[in-house]
Amino acid sequence: EAGVAQSPRYKIIEKRQSVAFWCNPISGHATLYWYQQILGQGPKLLIQFQNNGVVDDSQLPKDRFSAERLKGVDSTLKIQPAKLEDSAVYLCASSLRLAGQETQYFGPGTRLLVL
Amino acid sequence: RKEVEQDPGPFNVPEGATVAFNCTYSNSASQSFFWYRQDCRKEPKLLMSVYSSGNEDGRFTAQLNRASQYISLLIRDSKLSDSATYLCAVRNQGGKLIFGQGTELSVKP
- Yes or no, beta carbons of A42 and B97 under 8 Å apart: no
- Yes or no, beta carbons of A107 and B43 under 8 Å apart: yes
Calculate mean pLDDT across residues B21-41. 94
Please name the member of B41, B42, B46 whose beta carbon is closest to the beta carbon of A103.
Answer: B46
Q: How many CB atoms neighbour CB B61 within 10 A?
A: 18
The answer to whether B67 and B86 are in contact (CB under 8 A) is: no
Calculate mean pLDDT across residues B16-33. 94
Residues of chain B positioned with their CB less than 8 A from the CB of A104 = 46, 97
Q: Which residues pair with B64 in a beta bridge?
A: B71
pLDDT of res. B2: 84
CA–CA distance, B35 with B87 (Å, rounded to integer):
6
pLDDT of A71 over the 90 cut: no
**φ and ψ of A46, to 5 deg:** -100, -50
Torsion from C-alpha of A77, A81, A82, A86, nearest 10 degrees: -60
Q: How far from B3 is each of A27, B68, B72, B78, B92, CA to CA, in Å?
A: 32, 14, 16, 29, 10
State whether residue A25 sits within 8 Å of chain B by CB.
no
pLDDT of A1 over the 70 cut: no
Q: How far from B34 is each of A1, A7, A13, A22, A68, CA to CA, in Å?
A: 23, 27, 35, 27, 28
State whether residue A92 sits within 8 Å of chain B by CB.
no
pLDDT of A80 over the 80 cut: yes
pLDDT of A99 over the 80 cut: no
pLDDT of B109 over the 90 cut: yes
